[in-house]
Structure 1
Amino acid sequence: MTHAIPVPLPSALVDHHAIDLERKYSDGWGMKVDDVATTPSGEMYTVSKIHRHTYGVDDDEADPARAHFGYSLISKIAPDGTPLATAVSGQSDLARQDTTFGGPTTGLGEDLWWARGLCVLPDGALAATGADDHTHLLTPDLTAVTAHHGMPHWREDDGPRDPFASWISTTPAGRLLCTTGEYGLYNYGDLLDNILAITDEPLTPVSKPTLRALACLEADPVKHTEADLRPGVLFAGEPVGMAHRPRPSLTEQLAKLDPTSRPGDWYNARLGRPAVVREDLFVVPVFGHIYRSGNRGGPFAFVLVTDQGEFTGQLGGMDRYLDSPFTGHALEIAADPARERIYHLNRYGLFAWTGSGDLKQRLDLEDKRFKPLRHFTLLDCTPDGDLVLTHRTQHLLLRIPCPDTLDHVGHAVENALRAYAKERTDLKKQWKPVTWHWVDNTAPVHRL
């Protein structure tokens, strides 16, 4: 199988903006791979952000070789790593929008610039999700946007209020596990993820399913009114909002579960992207307040919640300080529902749990065999159970084949890293990347 897969930049975009690929990111430009989603047949979709700020150039600069820019790129990649297509959508906030590669009036515009997650839906369509419960549906070939749902970022802002979800994952039976936001969380005026919910009907270009609320991060958003009710998010048959919501909250239950918990430990907590452990069980990341001065040793938990909203505990075996995910903000978790396995990677280790939350493996990244994993971010678990990681500076995906048992995770990682190093050398000869940027001129580019 292919272990090393480039995440490409379309040559048309590089040429249009005369991007200097040798320029350092500290000089005002950069690329970041945010997420990956894999189809049952093995194709991969990636979502990336690329931006440039040219110092000394006005916001209304017309010359594309000098102008500021920002784009979201969604790429479709064959199982062997061959680029199949790229969809490009332009940023429309603050800077002048160069509409050559799409813009606010031609497609996804500003909304997809904030896209952070991908999900392949049961019918094969692609859902791109982001903050403010923005959800865009794209055709599998990335040629068109077929639907869009979203909310204004600020409570007082005008605009359509037709939200769906900020994160989506599919269950084995095709239901959608989602998170949605609420205004007033910790007295913030913007929309923050707060509700874990599930659907029983499909999401299609012409039909948005009702979400059934399972749990909430914080039970008392401040100053909720009837205007903040979510008619598409129901709890006990009524719209979620104000005092009507699942209780007790996740933070309240975590405080009761930990006898060493201090008052305020979970104040200003954040909800991470949940993952499907099996059809009726999900793992939900919860992170304590993130301080700019440093967070190692701060509270975090990976909570287990059923499809009936029952809190059944949390993943065990992690030390709050020695295994802190806050170092480098490695906050992602992935699950393999076919085998009921859960994985997490941070700067200190690769962790693997059973579906019941028992830690079976911790690969110490101080071990030279696994040390290269420090440069990767965990993004996904494929339908076949393979782990998909992205190298943060080399813009390559690393696919680690699913081991027979969790006892063999270390062996699988060793073999994958060895194969990755060899394949990366071959790819450099084939692609001739410039400072680890892989430029493709073969796949069609769709301007959304």
Structure 2
Amino acid sequence: MTIFPVTVPASLVSATGLEPEAGDWHRAVRHAVGTPDGETYVLSGLWRQTRYGGVDDGRDFICQLITRHGPDGDTRTTAVITHEAPGGAGPTSTVRRSESLTLLPDGTLVLSGKPGNTHLFTPELDRLLAAWHMDDRPSWSDEPQTDDPFAATVSVTPGGRLLCLTSEHRLENWGYPRGNLIAVSEPGDHLAPGHSPSCGRLRVAASCGVRKVPSEMSRIRQPAASAIWNTAVRAS
């Protein structure tokens, strides 16, 4: 069993006044993904929140980190991707909070989260290559949304197609966007800076919600009813 150490960059320790031996901070692993070379990327949350357990001294923070570990568990790189102070100035990064990681065939790291936030990072975690964000505010309007979302979760099939969970507004009378459509990219389509499959079309394989999947949407196409489940089975 490989043991991954808790790694916090010195810059974050300095910025937050974090004391490693103190018991007022918390860390939780959100997701992890391995590479063909045996490396592991770990997405984790790190926070200190005293407002509910004591007097807020202004040092509370919430951040997310991605750590790249070698095959033997040693830390190669740690990137602070979000950092915010509750009730303060808000996030200091254009990266939205996310829950999952995946690797594209070319080694690009994909970070995604609800309702439709997708980010691309270099394998070295030294640069954010692209980002697509979905507004999480409620909407009951039939007018097209002005944001630029992609998917709440992304994974890659053995054949290189993208398997995604995408969100919709007004499901079961909820104005907030909720994950609903399971979709796959067309063969040969890809996710890269300046291009996402939603620029073309995604093929819907299933709907998780009660509301009927519309036949035409601005970003996603539903195939003929008889082909929906066949598409899900054939995804390779």
- By the TM > 0.5 criterion, same fold? yes
1:308 paired with 2:196, answer no
Number of the residue aligned with 1:205: 193
Aligned partners of 1:7 and 1:21: how far apart in 2?
10
Once the two structures are TM-superposed, the CA of residue 129 in structure 1 deviates from its matched residue by 0.2
Aligned partners of 1:16 and 1:93: how far apart in 2?
11
Aligned partners of 2:121 and 2:185: how far apart in 1?
20
Number of the residue aligned with 1:175: 161
Label 1:90 to 1:120 Cα distance change in 2 as closer, same or farther (>3 A).
Answer: same
Is the 8 Å Cα contact of residues 90 and 97 (structure 1) preserved in structure 2?
A: no
Query: Which moves more between the two structures, 125-134 or 86-95?
Result: 86-95
Number of the residue aligned with 1:389: none
Aligned partners of 1:5 and 1:72: how far apart in 2?
17
Q: Residue type of the partner of 1:234?
A: R
Is the 8 Å Cα contact of residues 43 and 67 (structure 2) preserved in structure 1?
A: yes
Is the 8 Å Cα contact of residues 27 and 46 (structure 2) preserved in structure 1?
A: yes
Q: Residue type of the partner of 2:100?
A: G
Aligned partners of 1:178 and 1:199: how far apart in 2?
8
Label 1:170 to 1:202 Cα distance change in 2 as closer, same or farther (>3 A).
Answer: same
Is the 8 Å Cα contact of residues 61 and 84 (structure 2) preserved in structure 1?
A: no
Please provide the CA RMSD for this pair.
Answer: 3.0
**Structure 1, unaligned runs of 5 or more:** 59-65, 238-245, 248-304, 311-336, 338-448
Number of the residue aligned with 1:234: 221
Q: Residue type of the partner of 2:16?
A: H
C-alpha distance after superposition, 1:72-114 (max 9, x if no partner) = 101111111111111112345753248xxx814xx42xx1xx2
**Structure 2, unaligned runs of 5 or more:** none
Once the two structures are TM-superposed, the CA of residue 307 in structure 1 deviates from its matched residue by 5.8
Label 1:42 to 1:306 Cα distance change in 2 as closer, same or farther (>3 A).
Answer: farther
Residues 91-106 of structure 1 aligned to structure 2 (within 5 Å): 91-92=83-84, 94-97=86-89, 103-104=92-93
1:190 paired with 2:176, answer yes
Label 1:141 to 1:90 Cα distance change in 2 as closer, same or farther (>3 A).
Answer: same
Is the 8 Å Cα contact of residues 114 and 152 (structure 2) preserved in structure 1?
A: yes
Once the two structures are TM-superposed, the CA of residue 172 in structure 1 deviates from its matched residue by 1.0
Larger radius of gyration between Structure 1 and Structure 2: 1
Find the residue that maps to 1:42 and give its secondary structure: coil
Query: Which is bigger in relative contact order (C-alpha 8 A, separation at least 6)?
Result: 1
Q: Residue type of the partner of 2:147?
A: R
Q: Residue type of the partner of 2:123?
A: P
C-alpha distance after superposition, 1:123-153 (max 9, x if no partner) = 1111100011100111111111111112111
Label 1:41 to 1:20 Cα distance change in 2 as closer, same or farther (>3 A).
Answer: same
Aligned-pair identity (%)? 30
Aligned residues: 222
Once the two structures are TM-superposed, the CA of residue 41 in structure 1 deviates from its matched residue by 1.2
**TM-score between both structures, scaled by the size of structure 1:** 0.45
C-alpha distance after superposition, 1:143-167 (max 9, x if no partner) = 1111111211123399842111111
Which structure is higher in helix share?
1
